């Protein structure tokens, strides 16, 4: 995934990712997961996106465009707007921010996700306890 990640970084630098993001109404694009930790051993490219406004059906178009930019079909797309709190936090914490629609978008989104995941931890713990109890 080294080459795929490098291709996305180059696309962010040369404006192609900016064009993609604006065309599809995105507010934020990050890469997270194994490709950020060690791209040489990663088997897929985890990309998280945040839409600036609700967008129905745009996910497949965004995924197709990211596959084309990265040069790999092994792109896993997380739509942050629809992700559960823990998943949203994982898509932002330790992520590589590639594009944001304005200064501070990534930081503000990351802080909101951290706050939400910590505020809802008791709900996840209670659900696990109920499952363990059968």
With 90 as the cut, is the pLDDT of residue 54 above it?
A: no
User: With left for phi above 0 and alpha for psi between -120 and 50, is residue 29 left, alpha or beta?
Assistant: beta
Average pLDDT of the segment spanning 115-132: 90
Domain of 90? 2-133
The two counts, helices (H) then strands (E), for the chain are 7, 4
Q: Residue 73: which CATH number? A: 3.30.460.10
What would the pLDDT profile of 90-113 be if each residue is shown by its tens digit?
Answer: 999 989 999 999 999 999 999 999
The number of domains in the chain is: 1
């Amino acid at each position: 995934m080294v080459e795929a990640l490098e291709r996305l970084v180059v696309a962010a630098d040369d404006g192609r990712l900016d064009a993609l993001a604006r065309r599809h109404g995105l507010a934020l694009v990050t890469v997270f997961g194994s490709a950020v930790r060690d791209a040489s051993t990663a088997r897929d490219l985890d990309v998280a996106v945040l839409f600036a406004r609700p967008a129905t059906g745009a996910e497949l178009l965004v995924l197709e465009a990211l596959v084309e930019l990265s040069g790999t079909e092994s792109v896993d797309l997380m739509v942050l707007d629809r992700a559960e709190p823990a998943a949203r936090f994982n898509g932002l914490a330790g992520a590589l921010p590639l594009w944001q629609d304005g200064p501070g978008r990534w930081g503000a989104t990351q802080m909101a996700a951290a706050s939400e995941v910590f505020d809802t931890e008791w709900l996840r713990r209670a659900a696990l306890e109920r499952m363990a109890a059968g």
